[in-house]
């Protein structure tokens, strides 16, 4: 105990001291801001470096935007081309329908033209020729058509004005050969009923045997048992 007291008297006693920073708080805040800024700079650099590695730099973004614009433009051009193609298809269909209609009209006009020529010839034959006023055959026509058929036409008339109605029949006779044999054909039923006052045009088709060769065609107008008119043509 005495030793301790003696030691305290011989040694220099000093109070305990705490070491503290002498820097003021504004300096400390500035240092912290510098450290944080440095860390942020390092992070930003790392982010940009990562983008450059992944190919997502600003140039790539611009190229991506440009590519999207080009794709949109190509789609628009495609839609326009498709619209034009659809319109062209509709026009072609309409033109084809118009051409078919015109072709049908041309065929009909040709048919009407032939009918008009036939009618012209028919009415020309109606002009009185100064002959007798009784019944007469003014036109007999016949031609062999395909599939062994004979197409014929007869024009019968009474030139006199105020003539009574004629009631009779028309008989048609064909002569020729069938192979090496003579051939004679007539209208079925022995003739065709004939009634008219001024004129009458009669036509028909007569079937022929397979090897028939028609040489002459004769038409005869009969009233009761009396023959009123006869006309023959050679083929």
Residue 9 and residue 160: Cα distance in Å, rounded? 186
pLDDT at position 131 is 46
pLDDT at position 84 is 79
Q: Which helix (H) or strand (E) holds 103?
A: helix 58-125
Cβ–Cβ < 8 Å for 177, 215 = yes
pLDDT at position 130 is 44
Q: Which one, of 194, 207, 200, lies nearest residue 155 by Cα?
A: 200
Residues forming beta bridges with residue 185, ordered by sequence position: 174
pLDDT at position 45 is 66
Q: Which one, of 161, 167, 180, 153, lies nearest residue 226 by Cα?
A: 167
Residues forming beta bridges with residue 141, ordered by sequence position: 153
pLDDT < 50 stretches in the chain:
10, 14, 19, 129-131
Residue 37 and residue 207: Cα distance in Å, rounded? 117
Task: Map tokens 């240092």 to a residue.
Answer: 31
Q: How far is CA 154 from the centre of its chain?
A: 46
pLDDT in tens, 177-210: 988 899 898 988 888 899 988 888 889 988 998 8
Cβ–Cβ < 8 Å for 232, 214 = no
pLDDT at position 172 is 92
Report the CATH number of the 136-234 domain: 2.60.40.10
């Amino acid at each position: 105990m005495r030793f301790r007291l003696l030691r305290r008297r011989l040694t220099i006693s000093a109070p305990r001291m705490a070491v503290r920073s002498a820097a003021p708080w504004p300096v400390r805040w500035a240092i912290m801001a510098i450290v944080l800024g440095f860390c942020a700079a390092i992070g930003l650099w790392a982010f940009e470096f990562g983008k450059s590695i992944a190919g997502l730099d600003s140039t790539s973004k611009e190229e991506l935007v440009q590519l999207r614009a080009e794709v949109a433009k190509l789609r628009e051009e495609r839609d326009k081309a498709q619209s034009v193609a659809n319109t062209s298809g509709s026009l072609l269909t309409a033109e084809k329908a118009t051409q078919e209609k015109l072709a049908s009209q041309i065929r009909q006009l040709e048919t009407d033209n032939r009918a008009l020529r036939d009618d012209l010839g028919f009415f020309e034959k109606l002009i009185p020729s100064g002959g007798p006023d009784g019944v007469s055959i003014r036109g007999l026509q016949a031609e062999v058509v395909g599939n062994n058929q004979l197409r014929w036409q007869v024009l019968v008339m009474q030139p006199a004005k105020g003539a009574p109605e004629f009631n009779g029949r028309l008989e048609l006779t064909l002569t020729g050969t069938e192979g090496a044999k003579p051939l004679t054909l007539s209208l079925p039923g022995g003739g065709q009923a004939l009634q008219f006052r001024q004129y009458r045009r009669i036509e028909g088709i007569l079937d022929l045997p397979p090897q028939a060769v028609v040489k002459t065609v004769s038409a005869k107008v009969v009233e009761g048992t009396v023959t009123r008119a006869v006309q023959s043509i050679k083929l």
